[in-house]
Amino acid sequence: MSTRPPKSVSLLANLPINILLYVTLIVPFILMIYLAFLAWNPAGGYEWWQAPIAGLNNFIRAFSDARFIAALGRTVLFTMAVVGVEFLLGLVLAYLLLGEFRGKRAALSVIIYPLMLPWVVVALIFYLFFQDYGPVNNLFLKGIIGEAATNIHWFLSPTTAFITLLIADIWQWTPFMFLILYSGLSAVSKRLIEAAQVLGASNRTIFWRIQLPLIRPLILVALVLRALEAFKVFDIAYVMTGGGPGTSTETLSLYIYRVAIEYHDISYAAALSLIILIILVAVIRVFIWYSFERR
Amino acid sequence: MSIVTKALKYICVGIFLLWILVPVAWMVCLAFKSYPEWRVAYFFPKDPTLSNFIILFEPKRIIGMMGATAIVDPVTLPLINSLIVVGISTVIAVFIGFFTAYGASRYNSPGPFSLFFTLLTRMLPPATFVTPIMVYYSNLKLLDTHLGLILLYAAVTVTYGIWILKGFIDNIPREWEEAALLEGATHSQVIFRVTLPLIKSGLVVSGLFIFLLNWAELLFALVLTNVNAVTLPVHISKYVGAVGQLYGPQAALGIISSLVPLIVGYMIQKHLVTAFTFGMVR
């Protein structure tokens, strides 16, 4: 086959995708860059093309906005915490499930179902779970610390509210780490492991010296994809805590959403988005180069 | 392996399974409990009832139950909207994804920009580009319409269509297509009559996966809809916010909105890793 596509193929392959992308995403992206340099608030009663140019004011404001910096820091902390815990749990679990044993298929299909639930439903599940009279207080903690357990208000203190978010995310996404690591570990050739066993290597040596190094590229893929996904965190914060108490569990996505939708400060929201976009695009570009284009 | 390590292994896996099962078990039990049992400290309802589910479908009304009052819309409209929006956008994403993947697999056709851009839209937080879309949609009068959501959902998930289907197309020998060309078929006939039928299972896998993602999407729908095109996740978020203490109906709502994704998810159980990682892991 020739390397230059015939007209019909190139039309089919290029036209629909480009129309879809330009109509729904690229035009708004360009609009965003313009909006970020305006001083526009729809409550002012005029359209964006009539708004005065603000220059770099929105960006300068962002860097002295304590709430923005706090939300950014909190989101980074959230991402590192959940990715770390999920990776460790997923790795342990993948290693445990590696051999054959009775009920393995059933265990596998139980482990992966949280992945299929909508994020909002996960938020709802843990919202119900951590109520004052929910099972955490009323069943589990009551057994340990007695009647005082129902006085713990998970969503009313900044630390515990943040912990509920971490738990919800870890609950849903540990299976994701598990799946990737498990498929990697089970693809490691059995012969290699047998050969090492014959030479007298212990299980621990085999794990650290053979299995882990062989799945290193996979670990990178899993960590980066999960980190990008965790950085988006919006649904659980919006539904479970609403960013509260106060703004103490407000994530970056939630803050931008609020600036745009609740405070109608569209051009400031656009500037905040642009700052985050530039950072993330650089990260993603390096990652894509590393995993798709390097060889 | 010694008996001790084996027992330890079973215990660890068992604990993990409990940790996965218990939160959902609580919600499921709660959905069948009547009001007096919402705050009790045991799982199984003594007197199972369906009233929590029935309440969700009753016409718009004010629910007042022991201190919690709220105006609650029935779940019917969001349910229908979700099915329409997610269904149509999935079909669009799969077919556009297929054509693009075909070009990418056989000819390197759509330039690297489109491919990078589609990956980007999936990896960036939706909150960072929903603001200009809202402005743009309000100028185009697309706010609160099905069409607006359908186009956006198709655009942000088409990347999964491309990468999953590219894997399937790469596995079809080129010789088969060349043979059809030699027999006198045109290029478009080859695409529709040879390649498309051969990757039916790929279309199903990518379609179901995209369905799963769009079914769960909250932020876009929250910003871009208001009354007419409200989807299920938006309905849930309003329901939790407005009626904080109605645990029973909330749990029932959770069950209703996770039935479809669970069925869909188990149908593509084996392909989940590939799908989630854009085909990087098989």
Residue B232 structure tokens: 């299920």
Q: Which residues of A touch B96 (CB under 8 A)?
A: 16-17, 20
Please list the helix, strand and coil fractions of chain A in percent, rounded to the nearest 5, in that order.
75, 0, 20
Determine the average pLDDT of the residues in B41-63: 79
Determine the average pLDDT of the residues in B21-39: 87
- Give me the residues paired with residue B69 across strands: B64
Q: How many CB atoms lie within 10 A of CB B196?
A: 16
A115-151 pLDDT, tens digit each: 999 999 999 999 989 888 788 887 788 777 777 777 7
Across the interface, do A9 and B191 touch by the CB < 8 Å criterion? yes
Across the interface, do B19 and A179 touch by the CB < 8 Å criterion? no
Out of A13, A117, A183, name the one closest to residue B258 (CB): A117
Q: How many CB atoms lie within 10 A of CB B215?
A: 24
Res. A290: pLDDT tops 60: yes
Res. A155: pLDDT tops 90: no
Interface of A with B in 190-209 (CB under 8 A): none
Across the interface, do B276 and A135 touch by the CB < 8 Å criterion? no
Structural element, H or E, at residue A171: helix A158-185
Nearest CA in chain A to B136: A28
Q: Which residues of A touch B264 (CB under 8 A)?
A: 116
Res. B167: pLDDT tops 60: yes
User: For residues B231 and B225, what is the distance between their CA atoms, to the nearest angstrom?
Assistant: 8
Determine the average pLDDT of the residues in A104-113: 88
User: For residues B167 and B255, what is the distance between their CA atoms, to the nearest angstrom?
Assistant: 34
Structural domains of chain A in order of their starting residue, each with its CATH number: 66-263+287-293 (1.10.3720.10)
Q: Which residues of B touch A24 (CB under 8 A)?
A: 133, 151-152, 154-155
B200-217 pLDDT, tens digit each: 989 999 999 999 999 999
User: For residues A224 and A244, what is the distance between their CA atoms, to the nearest angstrom?
Assistant: 28
Across the interface, do B96 and A16 touch by the CB < 8 Å criterion? yes
User: For residues A98 and B4, what is the distance between their CA atoms, to the nearest angstrom?
Assistant: 17
Structural domains of chain B in order of their starting residue, each with its CATH number: 3-59 (no CATH), 76-276 (1.10.3720.10)
Across the interface, do A281 and B281 touch by the CB < 8 Å criterion? no
A22-32 pLDDT, tens digit each: 888 889 999 99
Question: CA dihedral defined by A111, A115, A117, A121, rounded to 10 degrees?
Answer: 100
Classify the phi-psi angles of A195: left when phi > 0, otherwise alpha if psi is within -120 to 50, otherwise beta. Answer: alpha
Say yes or no: A175 contacts chain B, CB-CB below 8 A. yes
Res. B132: pLDDT tops 70: yes
Which of A20, A85, A251, A283 best tests the B interface by mutation, with the highest count of B CBs <10 A?
A: A20
* B229 contacts B140 by C-beta, under 8 angstroms: no
Among B199, B182, B183, which residue's Cα sits nearest to residue B191?
B199
Among B219, B120, B133, which residue's Cα sits nearest to residue A255?
B219
Q: Which residues of A touch B187 (CB under 8 A)?
A: 6, 8-9
Q: Which residues of B touch A261 (CB under 8 A)?
A: 134, 223
Question: What is each CA distance from A9 to A4, A14, A292, B186, in whole angstroms?
Answer: 10, 8, 24, 10
pLDDT value at position B261?
92
Interface of A with B in 131-160 (CB under 8 A): 131, 133-135, 138-139, 142
Higher pLDDT among residues B90 and B163, named by residue: B90
* pLDDT band, residue B121 (cuts 50/70/90): confident
Q: Which residues of A touch B117 (CB under 8 A)?
A: 21, 25-26
* B70 contacts B243 by C-beta, under 8 angstroms: yes
Across the interface, do A48 and B135 touch by the CB < 8 Å criterion? yes
pLDDT value at position A3?
60
Nearest CA in chain A to B182: A1
Across the interface, do A232 and B126 touch by the CB < 8 Å criterion? yes
Res. B61: pLDDT tops 90: no
Q: Of the given ranges (A112-116, A149-153, A187-191), which has the lowest mean pLDDT?
A: A149-153
Residue B201 structure tokens: 């299972």
Among B203, B180, B207, which residue's Cα sits nearest to residue B88?
B207
User: For residues A208 and A211, what is the distance between their CA atoms, to the nearest angstrom?
Assistant: 6
pLDDT value at position A275?
92
Q: Which residues of A touch B102 (CB under 8 A)?
A: 9, 12-13
Among A104, A246, A123, which residue's Cα sits nearest to residue A186?
A104
Res. B238: pLDDT tops 90: no
Query: What one-character DSSP code corresponds to residue A262?
Result: I
Out of A24, A107, A124, name the one closest to residue B250 (CB): A124
Res. A282: pLDDT tops 80: yes
Determine the average pLDDT of the residues in A164-186: 93
Res. B6: pLDDT tops 90: no
Which residues contact residue B145 at a Cβ distance below 8 angstroms, ignoring those fewer than 6 apart?
A: B228, B229
Say yes or no: A213 contacts chain B, CB-CB below 8 A. no
Q: Which residues of B touch A126 (CB under 8 A)?
A: 23
pLDDT value at position B68?
55
* pLDDT band, residue B65 (cuts 50/70/90): low
User: For residues B188 and B198, what is the distance between their CA atoms, to the nearest angstrom?
Assistant: 15
